[in-house]
Structure 1
Amino acid sequence: MILELVDILIQPGKQAEFDKAISHGITEYIAKAKGFIGYQINKCIESPERYVLMNYWQTLENHTIDFRESPAFLQWRGVVGPFFARPPIVEHFTILETKNSQK
């Protein structure tokens, strides 16, 4: 499994609109992609214009080739791209260890 970490900075004052757009874009375009496993959207407390999107893929190629080279990628960017204050920073990680401790 691969973690795609996307650091997003949006234009000030657009948070409510972006919250809806990112959820819509993921469910309509990313979630239907080959090898997509799941996601988590994180909204920064200290910097409300900053978001971290965590997408999980079966393989790196599922993201970099199957999704990024598909028409769905352009549709996704059409939904969220107008909100960006700068291009997102995208990095990929292998997952070394996972632990969920809820009390």
Structure 2
Amino acid sequence: MILEVAILHVRQGQSAAFEQAFRQAAPLIAATPGYLGHELQQCLEQPDQYLLLAHWRTLEDHTVGFRQSAQYQQWRALLHPFYDPFPVVEHYRPLQHYPAPPPPET
């Protein structure tokens, strides 16, 4: 499994519109072979900044299968106008996984 990581800097004041566009774009990425899931998280300190974590079966499922697809062209049209600057996208492979500790008892 490969983890795609991108910090998305959305133009100031465009967060609500970006989130709406992302909801429209999510089915495009989800329909790609090799897609395993994603998370979109909003930064608490900088509300116009988001973290996209997408899980792929292989690197090529993202870099070739999605990026060279018609779905990506639609994704790009929906989301890329919001970014300033354009995000750096990096890919990670798992080495170790530690489960989160249980929550404290109350």
TM-score where L is the length of structure 1: 0.92
| DSSP-derived class of the 1:91 partner | strand
Q: Which amino acid aligns with 1:12?
A: Q
**In the superposition, relative to structure 1, how do residues 54 and 102 fare at CA in structure 2: closer, same or farther (>3 Å)?**
farther
Identity %: 35
| DSSP-derived class of the 2:64 partner | helix
Deviation at 1:97, TM superposition (A): 2.7
What's the Cα RMSD here?
1.2
Write out per-residue CA displacement over residues 22-54 of structure 1, whole angstroms, 9 at most, x where no aligned residue: 122112x10000100000101001111111100
Deviation at 1:15, TM superposition (A): 0.7
Gaps of 5+ in 1: none
Greater Rg by CA: 2
TM-score where L is the length of structure 2: 0.90
Partner of 1:39: 38
Partner of 2:59: 60
Moved over 6 A (4+): none
Asked whether 1:75 is paired with 2:74, we answer yes
Aligned length: 102
Partner of 1:20: 20
